[in-house]
Amino acid sequence: MANYSNSLYQQLEEETGIKTGQLLYLLFSVLRVMGISYNIIKPKEVAKLHPLVNIHDLVGALHLPGDAVVSPPDVNHALAVAAAGHGVQILDRTSVQQVVVEKGHVTAVETDRGTTECEYFVNCAGQWAYELGQASETKVSVPLHGCEHFYLLTKPLQEPLPPGSPVVIDMDGRIYVRPWQGGLLSGGFEKDPKPIFTEGRNQLEIQNMQEDWDHFEPMLSALLRRMPSLESAEIHQLVNCPESFTPDMRCLMGETPGVSGYYVLAGMNSSGLSFAGGAGKYLAEWMTYGYPTANVWPLDIKRFGNLQSSRTFLRHRVMEVMPLLYELKVPRWDFQTGRQLRTSPLYDRLDTQGARWMEKHGFERPKYFIPPGKDLLSLDQSKTFYKPDWFDIVGAEVKCCKEAVCVIDMSSFTKFELTSTGDQALELLQHLCANDLDVPVGHIVHTGMLNERGGYENDCSVVRLSKNSFFIISPTDQQVHCWSWIKKHMPNDPHLHLEDVSWKYTALNLIGPRAMDVLAELSYVSMTPDRFPSMFCKEMSVGYANGIRVMSMTHTGEPGFMLYIPIEYALHVYNEVMSVGQKYGIRNAGYYALRSLRIEKFFAFWGQDLHAFTTPLECGREFRVKFDKDTDFLGREALLQQRQDGVLRRFVMLVLEDHDTELDLWPWWGEPIYRNNQLAGSTTSSAYSYTLMRHVCLGFVSPPPGPEGLPTPITPDFINRGDYEVDIAGQRYPAKAKLYPFSSLFTQQQRRKDDIEVNLQGK
């Protein structure tokens, strides 16, 4: 988005003749996007680029030569002139009172100048987007909150900076400095921000916000440490202005889940001007074509629900978010505020047994369990890009999953029930899903819900509970998005009903070869594969509790079962499972073990490996697409065309070689993949495989363009005959790439190795 903004502002100057200030460099900290050229430079080179910078404590710097600074008023004026030239009518000094919604669709906007009928409405009200969303009769959730933001302006310096002097970002000092009208502008993101406008519409006017020199003092001290000569500079003004922030530091854009035609573009987290051009482009595509031309799921407003719109939650969360803009974020870090918002009935029970928690869509999920006697404090504070302190703990949980039985609380998963009086539910799912849902009662089907381009809108498991009733299981953060996608395509039929039952069921995942023994004792029913086949669901008793949905799947490829338990029975069933399981070596496990297991089995996950621009043919899931079923499903034509033309990229599994788990930096995700010394793609998931005893990366690779610059279809030979490397922080590590899991191959090799060692010892 930043790259597009950069080119747009240059184009505006050429088109309108209005100078937008495209002369200097933009802030590096708000342009952390891939594809921007940069240089690592030495301190002496820093001094040459910016004579005011104190370099005595520097070891180097990152220089972005292609960045620029623009003038916000000039950009706004240029955009307005360009829009007016294309027929856009602009009404300034006009107050929006509410958006009129009829039957779930935007129909008009009421203002203090009258009512304007419209088909689309974009809430880009910035600081007031939250209040505007709440003002209408049909309320729209826009989760953002304002904080005071301070920056200092100096009068012109006695010795002006050379033209083209770059913006200086001092991450440790939490400040930025850039030229401004012959002087300097310096602001920052302090550790103790001041939230504002919590009371809603009855808020202070922006112009009444006051200077606060005591609050700005740490940033002023950091400025003078980095540029000591500024001590003699004359201060023009300390500006206090509001900035809005979102719960996860990413902006909000897209169509809202509850109202058709109501779009949002807000919550820019102090990066508004940098991303405005690109964000506007994607939103315009969204409104015109029904989707943007790039994967913007990390920015989609549907990643949040109403539960993240509490004013108290937002106030506390943005106080944590704002300082994070200038802090080093280690892999798998977790927000500390706004926690324990959604919890399983087993939360307290698991917490007392050493659970350490992560948060997903507001839901607390166990990462791993600290055994008795471990140093809890040091584990909680472990921050590293290298081997983490939880390595051995997760390894023990994985081992138990493979050799005995583990229980993982997976209650956070999204769960829907779709029912009808006739065949309406089946017909809808057959249209939405690529796989065939017309299966016998009790069968489970893994499937994708695709868009018209053949990309994944949802990756789910569907259980046929009865002839006209289906149970849909989706990833945790799909709760709002999946609901919206299904409702968007549901006919207006009173005999067809969709219900979100996520809160009704506690989900326990029993993983391991002894899982069948535990359940057999608790149910007095044989759980062997011949009696309880894979991908099958039965409603049965577990302990004293009746009506438990037991499913023979685990989401990891290991043997085991999923138990969907009505919440009133959750504690009883968990206690019974743990009690009976003692003789089989049962233990709790967390999502880190689950992640390791699914990655070594080459299982793709929605939101990480799969998104709206990933098709089943690109990720080896064509077997889950039933082209010959009676119903013409969404995305079918696009997939048939892709199958005919050839796939341009493929999902691969890479096992690192010559990588020292103890000493080398770990891969986490997003690392470049090289094939034959050429950039071929990037990783989307990474984990240490305790089975293979190596790191495994999943990601997509593409062949280079053809002779005329056209995309080239990818073939298995291209994958198999290449020499691969994964780049981790500038160090490349050789990797073996495959289109199928390594697990069985390495397990056989390990067994042969063990047999040889046993024979040698015997001799």
Task: Quote the pLDDT of residue 377.
Answer: 57
In the sheet with 537-542, reading across from the earlier edge strand, the strands are: 537-542, 545-551, 560-566, 505-511, 406-409, 587-588
Give the C-alpha separation, 509 to 589, whole Å: 10
Residue 688 in 3-state DSSP?
A: strand
Task: Quote the pLDDT of residue 589.
Answer: 98
pLDDT above 70 (res 746): no
Instruction: Let me know: does 422 contact 367? Beta carbons within 8 Å.
Output: no
Q: What secondary structure letter does DSSP report for 384?
A: -
Give the type of residue at 687. A
Provide, rounded to the nearest whole percent, the portion of the chain with pLDDT above 70. Answer: 90
Q: For the purposes of burial, counting CB atoms within 10 Å of the CB of 39, is it exposed (0-12), middle (13-18) or buried (19 or more)?
A: exposed
Task: Quote the pLDDT of residue 72.
Answer: 77
Structure tokens, 622: 């064509």
pLDDT above 80 (res 185): yes
Identify any residues that bridge with 694 across adjacent strands, giving them in sequence order.
Answer: 689
Provide, rounded to the nearest whole percent, the portion of the chain with pLDDT above 90. Answer: 74
Residues 287-301: pLDDT tens digits? 999 999 999 999 999
Task: Quote the pLDDT of residue 61.
Answer: 87
Tracing tokens 């023009």 back to the chain, one arrives at 236
Task: Quote the pLDDT of residue 661.
Answer: 95
Task: Quote the pLDDT of residue 717.
Answer: 93
Q: Which residue has the higher pLDDT, 441 or 333?
A: 441
Residues 456-483: pLDDT tens digits? 999 999 999 999 999 999 999 999 999 9
Of 313-322, 601-610, 618-627, 743-752, the one with minimum mean pLDDT is 743-752
Helices (H) and strands (E) in the chain, counts: 18, 33
Q: What angle do CA 700, 706, 710 make, to 5 degrees?
A: 80
Q: Which residue has the higher pLDDT, 374 or 575?
A: 575
pLDDT above 90 (res 205): no
Instruction: Let me know: does 508 contact 574? Beta carbons within 8 Å.
Output: yes
Residue 453 sits at φ, ψ, to 5 deg, of: -90, 0
Average pLDDT, the chain: 89
In the predicted model, what is the mean pLDDT of residues 34-41? 69
Instruction: Let me know: does 191 contact 217? Beta carbons within 8 Å.
Output: no
Identify any residues that bridge with 365 across adjacent strands, giving them in sequence order.
Answer: 358
H-helix segments, 570-612? 570-581, 591-600
How long, in residues, is the chain? 763
Dihedral angle over CA of 452, 456, 457, 462, nearest 10: 110
Instruction: Let me know: does 355 contact 409? Beta carbons within 8 Å.
Output: no
Q: For the purposes of burial, counting CB atoms within 10 Å of the CB of 448, is it exposed (0-12), middle (13-18) or buried (19 or more)?
A: buried
Left (φ > 0), alpha (ψ -120 to 50) or beta: where does 315 sit?
alpha
β 262-266/121-123 pair status? parallel
Task: Quote the pLDDT of residue 382.
Answer: 61
Contacts 24+ apart (CB under 8 A), 619-623: 619/650, 619/651, 620/650, 620/651, 620/739, 620/740, 621/448
Task: Quote the pLDDT of residue 291.
Answer: 92
Cβ neighbour number for residue 112 with a 10 Å cutoff: 9
Task: Quote the pLDDT of residue 682.
Answer: 92
Output the pTM of the full model.
Answer: 0.90
Residues 320-343: pLDDT tens digits? 999 998 887 788 889 999 999 999
Residues 670-722: pLDDT tens digits? 899 999 999 999 999 999 999 999 999 999 999 998 888 888 999 999 999 99
Angle separating helix axes 2-16 and 272-289, nearest 10 degrees: 90
Task: Give kind and range of the element (H or E) at residue 176.
Answer: strand 175-180
pLDDT above 60 (res 24): no
Q: Which residue has the higher pLDDT, 761 or 50?
A: 50
pLDDT above 80 (res 70): no
pLDDT above 50 (res 255): yes
Q: Which residue has the higher pLDDT, 470 or 305?
A: 470
Give the C-alpha separation, 720 to 738, whole Å: 7
Task: Quote the pLDDT of residue 14.
Answer: 63
Task: Quote the pLDDT of residue 309.
Answer: 87
Tracing tokens 């969303």 back to the chain, one arrives at 133
Going by pLDDT thresholds of 50, 70 and 90, the confidence category of residue 204 is low
pLDDT above 70 (res 278): yes
Task: Give kind and range of the element (H or E) at residue 275.
Answer: helix 272-289
Identify the structural domains of the chain with CATH numbers, from first to last. Answer: 344-369+389-413+504-589 (3.30.1360.120), 415-500 (3.30.70.1400), 645-738 (2.40.30.110)
Give the type of residue at 553. M
Give the type of residue at 236. H
Cβ neighbour number for residue 90 with a 10 Å cutoff: 9
Task: Quote the pLDDT of residue 282.
Answer: 95
Q: What secondary structure letter does DSSP report for 307?
A: G
**Who's near 2: CB < 8 A, 6+ residues apart?**
26, 30, 31, 33, 36, 274, 275, 278
Tracing tokens 């080239």 back to the chain, one arrives at 712
Going by pLDDT thresholds of 50, 70 and 90, the confidence category of residue 454 is very high
Q: Which residue has the higher pLDDT, 114 or 30?
A: 114
Give the C-alpha separation, 299 to 83, whole Å: 25
Residues 369-426: pLDDT tens digits? 999 877 655 555 567 889 998 999 999 999 999 999 999 999 999 999 999 999 999 9
β 545-551/537-542 pair status? antiparallel
Going by pLDDT thresholds of 50, 70 and 90, the confidence category of residue 20 is very low
Task: Give kind and range of the element (H or E) at residue 312.
Answer: helix 311-324
Left (φ > 0), alpha (ψ -120 to 50) or beta: where does 354 sit?
left
Task: Give kind and range of the element (H or E) at residue 195.
Answer: strand 195-196
Residues 531-549: pLDDT tens digits? 999 999 999 999 999 999 9
